[in-house]
Amino acid sequence: MSGGVDSSVAAALLLREGYEVVGCFMRLGSPGESLDELQPDATPSNGTEGPGCGGARLKIGHQGCCSINDAADARLVAAKLDIPFYVCNFKKDFGRIIDHFVAEYNAGRTPNPCVRCNDWLKFGKLHEYATQIDAQFVASGHYARVEHDPVHGRHRLLRGIDLDKDQSYVLFGVRPDRLARTLLPIGGLRKPEVRALARELDLPVFDKPDSQEICFVPDNDYAGLIARRTPEAVKPGAVLDGAGRVVGEHPGQQHFTIGQRRRVGVALGHPIYVVDRDPEANTITVGPRDALDRDACVAREANWLVDPATIADHDGWIRCQAKIRYNSPPVAARVRTTGDASIEVRFDKPQFAIAPGQAVVCYDGEVVIGGAWIA
């Protein structure tokens, strides 16, 4: 439970369905969090038994921000619903996500820490903790759906009904074997319905705004965070044009991402975009918009949620719709495995600003086939 409206309503809906619900807040060490103000690790706020109690049958996971105010809101909701509430100390594990974020930017890529957090913590370590307290499921307030496929005898991940809020993209990395233990209670609802339910249930977070920023970068100053953690890596360098000529200077390649147009710091008399980042030379290259069109990408660390062999043609290609970033619509494409957990995606039409470090996620209609990290 993140203290937001989505996970709060998810908990309430599961109670309605007759589950025993245990609320869980992930303590990540975010800005503004005072450790003394949080509940001791693995101690329920309503005085019931601690971990290992045989009565626990469900675990509600964290989704969204993770400040001390969010912890307080989550506890208020748990008290309102009269369910046990635990705080899990995942600060050390969350450090791995921040370190990865910094390393990716330093390597010239644009990471998505929310996906990594889902993979490593919410549907990783939290599943392990759920097992410790004898919980059969992990649930969260994500706008996506999990359904059992009777034809293939396995669970599958689907897009949320509310396509404006759909979060299936950030869940592509969930291990297939864990889908059967995953519940997404609000995936069949639209956001206004969720807020209306929260108001109807008199939950204190019914009108709480959605979290927009990365929780460990509340000021959105990614480069500032990287400079504080690795000051030796962020330094001025040259801005190049497509011919390799120096046309300006930048404060550090970590300040930029592929496709960026604003705050480039160079005026050439026509619209320019960041078309390349070279971390070894510490340069960025700028050029016109059409220099960013690509008809294919290669991605690694593939996670298949549908067996590709069952849906590929004789050449190994699978027709799909692919998303190259969270806020872009799925587009017509083909995907195939290329060995070593890598995939190749070819788009029917060239796509703008495919950024290494982001995920490419492939769909068959509403069903998530799988995805990987763009290399």
What span, in angstroms and rounded, lies between the C-alpha atoms of 57 and 330?
36
Closest CA to 231 of 356, 94, 98, 102: 102
215 is catalytic: yes
What's the burial of 315, exposed, middle or buried (CB within 10 Å: 0-12/13-18/19+)? exposed
Q: Which of 299, 364, 368, 366 is nearest to 336 (CA)?
A: 299
Strand, helix or coil for residue 293: strand
CA distances from 299 to 16, 47, 191 (A): 42, 48, 32
114 is catalytic: no
Cβ contact 251:262 at 8 Å:
no
> Of 24, 117, 297, 320, which residue is the catalytic one?
117
Residue 305 burial (CB count, 10 A): 23
The answer to whether the beta carbons of residues 103 and 41 sit under 8 Å apart is no
Of the candidates 24, 215, 297, 362, the residue annotated as catalytic is 215
Query: Active-site residue numbers?
Result: 117, 215
